[in-house]
């Protein structure tokens, strides 16, 4: 990075173990990384609305927690990028682990019977979260956090792809056996497929593009900072790839929660329907009356 481009600001010298590619205190004296901060709005406002709607629909509490967990990550990331203080960094990074654990629980338990709690995966994910927290507080190595977070995301990707490829494999002997012994599998395969696969791939694709931009921002930071010195401000802001990472991963995570909800509510024989707010933003509406 190029510290000479950074300025002094309201929160003082950064104490975080990470300082991203956006120049500090350039846009505002009170916000260290302005674009990296305000880009978190996509991880705060829509998930809060989603949590309210999920609660009003009377759906399982773990899905409300999924939305609230994503919003908590957005708030923590806002505080971190606004201040670049170590305490705020933890407020960003640790909720990433906790909320993704909730995502994992919801996706791996989406075919359970009834509104019950599966205590074994809860205990397993709780032990994982506590272990990561304790280790990370003692060993302040960002790569450790990134690897642990990546492991959880990998679990989500594997599970998601496994679910959406059931339809392709329904004619093989294994799936025929499942359908024979578990008729509800046929309902999931046939009923979920029309919307499930596009939603799954959209979520994964958007998240992967965000991850690509995150890496570009890290690897080519010096080049990006130099280019912003010659570009008009309105154009230079487009090169704030860490802010794009927030936007794309926020949207990808939001779509993943919708995917998980779509699978679960369809399995429970409700009638979920994706609607677009103002023709743009996707929301899930669930009719309380079950299908026959």
Backbone angles phi, psi at 281, to 5 degrees: -90, 125
For residue 32, what is the DSSP state? S
3-state secondary structure 60-108: CHHHHHHHHHHHHHHHHHHHHHHHCCHHHHHHHHHHHHHHHHHHHHHHH
Strand partners, 272: 286
Q: Give 77: exposed, middle or buried? Use CB within 10 Å, 0-12, 13-18, 19+.
A: buried
Tens-digit pLDDT profile for residues 213-266: 999 999 999 999 999 989 888 888 999 999 999 999 999 999 999 999 988 988
Paired tokens of 36: 């990296």
Mean pLDDT of 53-57: 90
- Count Cα atoms within 13 angstroms, Cβ side, for 9: 22
Confidence band, pLDDT 50/70/90 cuts, at residue 173: very low
pLDDT of residue 111: 85
For residue 271, what is the DSSP state? E
- Position 202 pLDDT exceeds 60: yes
Q: Angle formed by the axes of helices 221-228 and 183-219, to 10°?
A: 70
Tens-digit pLDDT profile for residues 152-169: 999 999 999 888 876 443
pLDDT of residue 284: 85
Long-range contacts of 223-229 (CB under 8 A, 24+ apart): 224/21, 225/1, 225/2, 225/5, 225/21, 225/23, 226/2, 228/23, 229/5
Contact predicate 259/196, CB 8 Å: yes
Q: Return the beta strands (E) in the chain as ranges.
A: 271-277, 281-287
pLDDT of residue 182: 52
- Position 1 pLDDT exceeds 50: no
Paired tokens of 151: 């492991």
Mean pLDDT of 124-133: 97
Strand partners, 31: none
Backbone angles phi, psi at 284, to 5 degrees: -105, 125
Q: Give 121: exposed, middle or buried? Use CB within 10 Å, 0-12, 13-18, 19+.
A: middle
pTM here is 0.87
pLDDT of residue 125: 97
Give the integer Cα–Cα distance in Å for 179 and 216. 46
Question: Nearest to residue 80, comparing CAs of 100, 101, 94?
Answer: 94
pLDDT of residue 281: 86
Paired tokens of 113: 């019977």
Mean pLDDT of 269-280: 82
Mean pLDDT of the chain: 86
pLDDT of residue 68: 97
- Position 89 pLDDT exceeds 80: yes
pLDDT of residue 4: 47
Give the integer Cα–Cα distance in Å for 175 and 200. 21
């Amino acid at each position: 990075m190029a510290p000479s481009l950074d300025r002094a600001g309201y929160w003082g010298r950064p104490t975080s173990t990470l300082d991203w590619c956006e120049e500090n205190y350039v846009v505002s004296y009170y916000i260290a990384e302005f674009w990296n901060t305000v880009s978190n709005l996509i991880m705060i406002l829509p998930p809060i609305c989603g949590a309210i709607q999920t609660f009003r629909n009377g759906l399982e509490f773990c899905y409300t927690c999924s939305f609230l967990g994503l919003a908590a990550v957005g708030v923590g990331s806002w505080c971190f990028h606004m201040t670049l203080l170590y305490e705020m960094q933890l407020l960003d990074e640790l909720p990433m682990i906790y909320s993704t654990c909730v995502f994992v629980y919801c996706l791996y338990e989406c075919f359970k019977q009834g509104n019950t709690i599966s205590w074994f995966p809860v205990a397993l994910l709780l032990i994982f979260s506590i272990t990561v927290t304790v280790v990370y507080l003692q060993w302040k190595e960002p790569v450790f956090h990134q690897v642990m977070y990546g492991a959880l995301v990998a679990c989500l990707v594997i599970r998601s792809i496994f679910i959406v490829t059931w339809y392709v494999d329904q004619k093989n002997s294994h799936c025929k056996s499942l359908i024979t012994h578990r008729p509800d599998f046929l309902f999931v395969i046939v009923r979920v497929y029309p919307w499930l696969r596009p939603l799954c791939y959209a979520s994964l694709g958007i998240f992967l593009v965000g991850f690509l931009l995150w890496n570009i921002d890290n690897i080519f930071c010096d080049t990006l900072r130099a280019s912003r010195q010659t570009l008009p401000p309105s154009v230079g802001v487009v090169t704030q790839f860490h802010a794009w990472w927030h936007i794309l991963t926020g949207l990808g995570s939001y779509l993943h929660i919708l995917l998980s909800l779509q699978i679960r509510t369809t399995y429970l024989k409700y009638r979920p329907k994706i609607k677009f707010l103002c023709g743009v933003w996707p929301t899930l509406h669930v009719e309380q009356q079950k299908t026959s």
